[in-house]
Structure 1
């Protein structure tokens, strides 16, 4: 066979192999109903969306669950970056689109979080980090109020006065409860530690209400469908969207991701996937990427 024909066939073979490679997406295994481990696989809204992105690219989907052992959210950003920079995955889902967490990293190297096949934490190498680039957002975030069964309706934070309101120390939700109207809810507030069982406190009547993210309430309903906890008629946008992130230079991948997100929102597929996953789909807010949270706006009546 002539040399140029041999080279052509090898090139075609390489293209075929590359096209057959699955799209690998890393997802948190503890972020129901967006993504969560169930038995031997990962389920949730993010899986349905990622499957559509893989189909758009003509590739199969492979999901890699990960579990962070780092408590500070700023470190989680570096862990996500390490997963991408180490080539463990092409995309990471469910990433909060904050300007401070995108772009060039603030550290040169970091270790990956736990994932199937990873070495022990002490044996993992420090991975040189790249630059994070986000897709367009696919989900907004909001605060909701979870109520103990039988509680009267709640439409504003002021309606919580006179009830036992759980406030977890060191959280955004706890801060909002303690700061609302300069301490308006102090006499009703029940201080709680971050390791306490908030849902158990609601079930037993230790507290009557708690401010929580909408996805936390959705997760409770999904994983504990018989729970008597109710959802108040209250919702306050956090102004933070969720999207996918990849490394800088993955233009084709991010373009396909953005096409799927835009198309599925318009067609209603996004809403159908959310209903299937037990997620209350929230339209992304503007801007797509936010710089800071506004506490006054979150506490406004």
Structure 2
């Protein structure tokens, strides 16, 4: 009896050691994959989960913003419309995770969301942290000003000594560091576009350099503000024959997710070819203007 009991204990011990060795092997393999830059198949994870989590900062109308629709507060905008179409084509539900704009790429790296759709221009600097889809919109920088305080803002050189607002972590921040700061323009960096607009309306800053589509939407619903058409801002395009989508707005995703990028590009192609993308942009501009008037 004692011999049988001892044999059973030994067998159980060997099984436990074997299980621990297997677990350690899996852990070491995962660590090796991480160290070598290998990543899990995000597309398969999304489909298995049945949901895609999209990170965005809903303070950037008409890309994404809060709106009152049928008496309910919702996140709307043409980025949201794109996110819904991507989810539909993948056959999964959509979850929008809001966060500060400057936190977006960090959240993607930390696996807090699957992709980012938040008016993100495709730049070489951002491509060091994430991969991008093909571009789905391309804008340009303009100067948004208060009509009552636009004197002396007709040229870039005239902005010397002025106080210009820039959204933190945006491509406009690089513009400001290259063209405005060296000539003595005072820059106010703020993470929230809404806070920048309040500052401009209150004449606490002299202008905001931002995307033309954003500026036009704001000006439609705020008679105090306008785009200074006389102030033509220099453009530094990173676009090349090899990288034609540089400077365009794209969907960001973890590096190495070719399958996911292919599926997202298919959705973008479909929307652009059908004209739906342009329709989404028009609808977002109208809804944004209506909500700003309320």
With the shorter chain as reference, the TM-score category is 0.5 to 0.7
In structure 2, what is the equivalent of residue 142 of structure 1?
140
Q: Which has the higher helix share?
A: 2
User: What is the CA-CA distance between 1:43 and the residue it aligns to?
Assistant: 1.4
User: What is the CA-CA distance between 1:101 and the residue it aligns to?
Assistant: 3.1
Structure 1 position 65 matched with structure 2 position 62 = no
- Superposition map of 1:32-51 within 5 A: 32-38=61-67, 40-51=73-84
User: What is the CA-CA distance between 1:270 and the residue it aligns to?
Assistant: 1.5
In structure 2, what is the equivalent of residue 90 of structure 1?
114
Structure 1 position 101 matched with structure 2 position 129 = no
Alpha carbons 1:163, 1:208 under 8 Å: kept: no
Q: In the TM superposition, what whole-angstrom CA distance separates every residue of 1:46-93 from its partner, at most 9, and x where no partner exists?
A: 11011122222233333222236xxxx5x65322211xx3xx433221
Structure 1 position 27 matched with structure 2 position 56 = yes
Q: Distance in 2 between matches of 1:98 and 1:271?
A: 23
With over 3 angstroms needed to count, the CA separation of the structure-2 counterparts of 1:61 and 1:198, relative to structure 1, is: closer
With over 3 angstroms needed to count, the CA separation of the structure-2 counterparts of 1:276 and 1:157, relative to structure 1, is: same
In structure 2, what is the equivalent of residue 275 of structure 1?
282
User: What is the CA-CA distance between 1:236 and the residue it aligns to?
Assistant: 5.1
Structure 1 position 232 matched with structure 2 position 232 = no
Structure 2, unaligned stretches of length 5 or more?
1-43, 238-246, 287-294
Structure 1 position 177 matched with structure 2 position 174 = no
With over 3 angstroms needed to count, the CA separation of the structure-2 counterparts of 1:154 and 1:213, relative to structure 1, is: farther
In structure 1, what is the equivalent of residue 262 of structure 2?
255
Structure 1 position 166 matched with structure 2 position 154 = no
Alpha carbons 1:20, 1:60 under 8 Å: kept: no
Structure 1, unaligned stretches of length 5 or more?
1-14, 106-131, 280-301
Larger radius of gyration: 2
User: What is the CA-CA distance between 1:254 and the residue it aligns to?
Assistant: 1.7
Q: Distance in 2 between matches of 1:202 and 1:67?
A: 20
- Superposition map of 1:186-197 within 5 A: 191=186, 193-194=188-189
Alpha carbons 1:97, 1:243 under 8 Å: kept: yes
Q: Distance in 2 between matches of 1:135 and 1:219?
A: 25
User: What is the CA-CA distance between 1:258 and the residue it aligns to?
Assistant: 0.4
Alpha carbons 1:135, 1:258 under 8 Å: kept: yes
User: What is the CA-CA distance between 1:192 and the residue it aligns to?
Assistant: 5.4
Q: Distance in 2 between matches of 1:144 and 1:162?
A: 13
Q: Secondary structure at the match of 2:269?
A: helix
Q: Secondary structure at the match of 1:274?
A: helix
- Give me the TM-score of the superposition, normalised by structure 1: 0.56
In structure 2, what is the equivalent of residue 124 of structure 1?
none
> How many residue pairs get matched?
217
User: What is the CA-CA distance between 1:173 and the residue it aligns to?
Assistant: 5.3
